[in-house]
Amino acid sequence: MSKCVLIVDDEEDVRAIAQMGLEMAADWKVLTASSGQEALAIAQTNQPDVILLDMMMPDMDGQATLQRLKANPATLQIPVILVTAKVQPSDQQRFAHLDVAAVFAKPFRPLKLADQINAVLNSSNN
């Protein structure tokens, strides 16, 4: 079954690479948002199977976007995977208390992304 993924990142090249990897490797439907505000609207309207959310964004960062997603009954159940370049132990501790399905490190491998997402979704469904 084809999945629908929402990629939220303020960097156009990151969105494009992730989208290309997911479409090539898994033939998934990919939605993109360049800001937290745009992501909230797209998530509510389209109900993606999973959201890949960049932590470092201007205006509304990933953490603020995540809080708004989890506060909205329409988007509360959508699994969120944080994507961040900050993968030091101190950063990992900060992410541990957040309601996320996983944390992926940047840079990621686009053609491996679908497998990584499937692994996270399958483990959270068990």
At 33-71, the pLDDT tens digits run 999 999 999 999 999 999 999 999 998 999 999 999 999
Percent of the chain with pLDDT over 70: 90
Distance of CA 30 to the CA centre of its chain: 11
Closest CA to 41 of 15, 14, 75, 71: 75
Report the alpha-carbon distance of residue 12 to residue 122 in Å, rounded. Answer: 29
> What pLDDT, on a 0 to 100 scale, did the predictor assign at position 123?
85
Q: How confident is the model at residue 125 (pLDDT cuts 50, 70, 90)?
A: low
Residue 31 above 90 pLDDT? yes
Terminal CA-CA length for the chain: 18
pLDDT digits (tens, 9 = 90+) for 55-114: 999 989 999 999 999 999 999 999 999 998 876 666 666 777 788 999 898 888 989 999
Domains of the chain: 4-125 (3.40.50.2300)
Integer Cα distance of 43 and 24 in angstroms: 23
118's CB contacts (< 8 A; 6+ apart) are: 26
